[in-house]
Amino acid sequence: MTPSARIQAASQLLDQIFDAWNSEKRFPADKMLQQHFKENRYIGSKDRGAISELVYWILRHKATLEWWLDKYEQRKSPEKDGRSFVIAALVLRREYSPQTLATLSKDGNYYSFAALTDSEQKLAEKLAKVAVSYPDMPEYARLNYPQWLGDLLRESFGDKLEAALLAMNEQAPTDLRVNTLKTTRDKLLANLNKEGFECTPTPLSPIGIRLARRAPIFTSEYFKQGHFEVQDEGSQMVALLLDAKAGERVIDFCAGAGGKTLAIAAMMENKGRILAWDISKKRLDQINLRLKRAGVNNVQVHVLESESDSFIKRHKASADRVLVDAPCSGSGTWRRNPDLKWRFTQKDLDEVVAVQRSVLQSASRLTKVGGRLVYATCSVFKCENESQVETFLKNNPHFKLTDEDPYLNLTPHENDVDGFFAAVLERLPT
């Protein structure tokens, strides 16, 4: 593809993303890109990479770009299309001057970026004279967050708000979790480096490896052999907090696609029993292939009808360890999913907080006396984290926070991991 065709594709994709959000479908951006590339198989891997990079940069900086467009773009409608954002991004990033941008369509290709209109040319010329960030920008535009989330973010980060949000707008590293059922971290590090994947041990997780840069890691023979899974270091730390032992009975209450289930199985040396539950059959269906590849055979999968499924009663007070990786806003994953902050609403937050409360209450019944209950989210908002735990403890005096380090708070700006929260609780005799 020509540079012009790549830019046109990015513009079209942004239009599709914005249209979906406006219609309240709010599909994830990564799914929409995958679908677009699937439908247009002529787009090569390098072209896909370039198109995706531009789209995601725009989504990361959407509030900043929108502020500049409001300032300089003369339109009767407040709606901004993908083309406007692309022009602003290319000029503000100094990737194209207004003059070179104006020549993009001259190759005559059907897929090319159309010639700039007079108003677009004027917009580009104005943007060429300024920097991406501007001192007089309001905080939400400079730090790229939805205005309605301002109070929640300030509550979470206080005077570290700017550092936190700047870090949350960067690209996340790629972390791997070593499958200790098949290898060790030192052996895997050596083997991956031999394959040409430059990597180092993660600083926090004793079973983690971090790639020096993005790479096609799924082509590794060691992935095919089940020696590792791609998993953020913060997620690894949450699984380790469960402190599951060989021979124990463990319930992963919101198992999803099984990332933490696999980590727990390795901790337990494939001994004992793990019950992996979720209300999403589609997500749980992904576990079986991963279990086989990892050599895990102590997991039983079950689809729940809801968090209050009558099936749960059969396992009351039966588990040594219970993990509640609760549904959440996903605010801790903004580095990976920058579109999430724009398509998540106050209504969504209210709903997810209510679900968290219900899920935690239901899952707590599964914990035996003396057992451990870990409540976790990939959110940075206190209303989903500490406040949920405080409310739970108030209503459930037969639980307490563990005496040593009961809370785990990980953030991109302090730990260079996704934002994660976890609370470690213990069930007391009644």
Q: Which tokens belong to 186? A: 């030192």
- Cα R_g (the chain), whole angstroms: 24
378 is catalytic: yes
* Alpha carbons 359 and 378: distance in angstroms, whole number: 15
Residue 191 makes CB contacts below 8 A (sequence gap 6+) with 183, 222, 227
In the chain, count of helices (H) and strands (E)?
Answer: 20, 12
- Beta carbons of 332 and 418 less than 8 angstroms apart: yes
- CA 351, 357, 362 angle in degrees (round to 5)? 125
- Beta carbons of 413 and 162 less than 8 angstroms apart: no
Kindly tell me the burial class for residue 295, based on how many C-beta atoms sit within 10 Å of its own C-beta (0-12, 13-18, 19 or more): middle
In DSSP notation, 273-287 reads EEEEEES-HHHHTTH
Give the closest residue to 331 by CA, choosing from 378, 261, 274.
378
Residue of 199, 328, 378, 383 marked catalytic: 378
Which residues have a catalytic role annotated?
Answer: 378
